[in-house]
């Protein structure tokens, strides 16, 4: 299948499913599109008992897409820049310490807890999987998905300081999670000696290098925007910053997602906006990135819904997926305890922050993309089924109910916004 045909089919499906969701279901876009796509794909399965033409075509379409490359190497940078561009930088600055710990130490703790718990859960249902592969699964499932989280947080009306913690963690922890995943992946492959120094070097190059590159790209973009006043050219400059920056990050082997988050935060800062953009430029930049964000999100969640076609339907694998859901929630809850305990009083955390962040820490396309990169020796079929079940539960069930949870607990007491420290 050629790329134009694939893109056309995905956009047409996205438009049709988006219309159905907007007209009838009225669910948040990410939730509605995934639900409709899954129902559509299951209907195609049923229809295949009478005529399998449509099933063959749909399977041909989804297998011709390199989901991992499309998401991690292309779409993610655009989506993260768009998300960071509209993130409250002042609130993020206030909440920077807990967000940093959530994204680093929290992700690391969650990885090991999830790996440990999953190892014993699988043993209970007579699936003998090496611990290192369970740890690898812990690494791919621990980062919360910024794309899914951003989409849901826009709808639920969370208090700003709570929203900043959840969104800020999600924007940064995927870069950390990918580094942890790649490190464990190398160990799991065998044949390569991994030292503590190598791990530290990989972490520094990927994470610190990505942030430094993002600072540079953000500063250059700011200087260019400030030197002219032509909204159409300025929109193109922001687009070039993302595309060029992603390419440079890939060539330098640093984290493109972290670079784009950093650049987006800089360009989106109120101070930078006021000093470098006219009112009309700011409106066009915001609308352009909002539209691109919606378009890519729409395509992504249609793709996620269609990934059901690549799963191995084994009853034991499906059972494992449902059993592991509460286990992963427990691992995340524990991983958040320390930073919340340290900063709860100082930063006026809302009631039940740990519970809300646990339930609001949605998994999404990043976890599926990493699961697809596993080899057959690493129990790819098993962990892909488990990952898909966890992601679908996360988006459909957690995504639909996190708003009610926030209203129940976050509104219990008056929230005092912290404006300066």
CA dihedral 296, 302, 304, 306 (to 10 degrees): -150
pLDDT tens per residue, range 167-213: 899 988 887 888 889 888 988 887 556 667 777 777 788 888 999 99
Long-range contact pairs involving 336-341 (C-beta distance under 8 Å, separation at least 24): 336/102, 336/106, 338/101, 338/105, 338/106, 338/109, 339/98, 339/101, 339/102, 339/105, 339/106, 340/98
**Under CATH, which number does the domain 67-409 receive?**
1.20.1530.20
Domain limits, the chain: 67-409
Would you say residue 343 has pLDDT above 70? yes
The DSSP secondary structure of 309-353, one letter per residue, reads GG----HHHHHHHHHHHHHHHHHHHHHHHHHHHHHTTTTTPPTTH
Q: What is the pLDDT of residue 414?
A: 45
pTM of the model: 0.91
Residue for token digits 């989901």?
Answer: 67
pLDDT tens per residue, range 201-248: 777 888 889 999 999 999 999 999 999 999 999 999 999 999 999 999
Q: What is the mean pLDDT of the chain?
A: 90
pLDDT tens per residue, range 392-418: 999 999 999 988 888 887 666 444 444
Q: What is the pLDDT of residue 81?
A: 94
């Amino acid at each position: 299948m050629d790329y134009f045909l694939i893109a056309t089919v995905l956009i047409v499906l996205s438009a049709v499913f988006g219309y159905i969701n907007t007209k009838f279901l009225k669910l948040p876009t990410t939730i509605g599109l995934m639900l409709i796509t899954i129902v559509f794909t299951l209907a195609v399965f049923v229809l295949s008992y009478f005529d399998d033409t449509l099933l063959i075509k749909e399977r041909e379409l989804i297998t011709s897409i390199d989901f991992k490359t499309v998401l991690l190497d292309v779409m993610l940078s655009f989506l993260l820049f768009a998300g960071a561009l509209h993130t409250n930088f002042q609130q993020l600055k206030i909440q920077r310490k807990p967000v940093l710990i959530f994204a680093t130490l929290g992700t690391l703790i969650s990885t090991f807890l999830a790996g440990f718990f999953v190892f014993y859960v699988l043993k209970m249902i007579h699936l003998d999987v090496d611990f290192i592969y369970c740890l690898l699964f812990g690494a791919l499932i621990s980062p919360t998905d910024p794309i899914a989280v951003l989409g849901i947080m826009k709808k639920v009306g969370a208090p700003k300081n709570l929203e900043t913690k959840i969104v800020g963690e999600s924007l940064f922890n995927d870069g950390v999670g990918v580094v942890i995943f790649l490190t464990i992946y190398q160990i799991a492959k065998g044949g390569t000696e991994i030292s503590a120094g190598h791990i530290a070097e990989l972490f520094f190059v990927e994470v610190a290098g990505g942030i430094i590159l993002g600072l540079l790209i953000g500063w250059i973009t700011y200087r260019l925007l400030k030197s002219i006043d032509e909204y159409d050219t300025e929109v193109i400059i922001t687009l070039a910053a993302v595309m060029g920056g992603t390419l440079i990050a890939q060539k330098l082997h640093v984290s493109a997602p972290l670079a784009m988050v950093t650049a987006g935060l800089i360009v989106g800062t109120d101070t930078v906006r006021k000093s470098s953009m006219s009112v009309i430029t700011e409106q066009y930049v915001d609308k352009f990135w909002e539209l691109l964000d919606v378009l890519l999100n729409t395509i992504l969640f249609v793709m996620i819904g269609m990934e059901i076609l690549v799963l191995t339907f084994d009853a034991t694998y499906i059972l494992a997926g449902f059993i592991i859901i509460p286990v992963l929630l427990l691992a995340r809850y524990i991983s958040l305890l320390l930073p919340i305990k340290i900063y709860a009083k100082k930063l006026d955390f809302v009631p039940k922050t740990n519970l809300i962040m646990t339930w609001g820490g949605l998994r999404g396309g990043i976890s599926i993309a990493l699961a697809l990169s596993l080899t057959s020796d690493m129990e790819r079929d098993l962990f892909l089924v488990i990952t898909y079940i966890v992601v679908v539960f996360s988006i459909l069930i957690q995504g639909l109910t996190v708003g009610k949870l926030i209203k129940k607990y976050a509104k219990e007491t008056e929230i005092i916004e912290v404006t300066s420290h």
